[in-house]
Amino acid sequence: MNLIDLSIGIKRNLSMEKFKAATRQLVEDKLDEKNNDHVRDFLKMTIEYPVQTPYDILQVIYVNHCNLVIIISKCTFQKYSITIYNCVNNTISQNIELEGDFICVRDIEYHDYQVLFGVPYFDAGTFHIIIFNEHKVI
């Protein structure tokens, strides 16, 4: 199978499981041509499984230097949730709720040196930004 066959399969409504298997097989075929054992070992280490969440996840970032995972979830058009997980303790460090008339959130911005995070958002045409760190809203 090559990339053209794969794209035709996508257009023909190929199921997601078959798409993932075909993509993985395509990567492994390319690895056989190049003999990249380290990449093949990396593919064997990754485990992928579906996780049911109560809300739609918009963005997930992993901050390596402080072992945090920050997730933006869309509850409704009036409510978004920002959840900060501490990977060392396996706990939720903070949960921030954004509520308003009609909210639009895009992504998380962060500053590497001070471990500050910012989420710009619109609420019914008014621009806001929330700045926080691992423990509190600033």
Average pLDDT in the 55-71 region? 86
pTM above 0.75, yes or no: no
Distance CA 88, CA 14 (A): 39
What's the pLDDT at 42?
61
Beta bridge partners of 83: 71, 95
pLDDT tens column, 75-126? 999 999 999 988 888 888 899 999 999 999 988 988 777 688 999 999 988 9
> Has residue 6 got a pLDDT over 60?
no
Dig out the tokens for 3 from the structure. Answer: 């990339």
Q: Where are the beta strands (DSSP E) in the chain?
A: 56-63, 68-76, 79-86, 91-99, 103-105, 109-111, 116-123, 126-132
Domain boundaries, the chain: 3-45, 56-132
Which pLDDT band holds residue 128 (cuts at 50, 70, 90)?
very high
Q: Measure the CA–CA gap between 117 and 130, rounded to whole angstroms.
A: 8
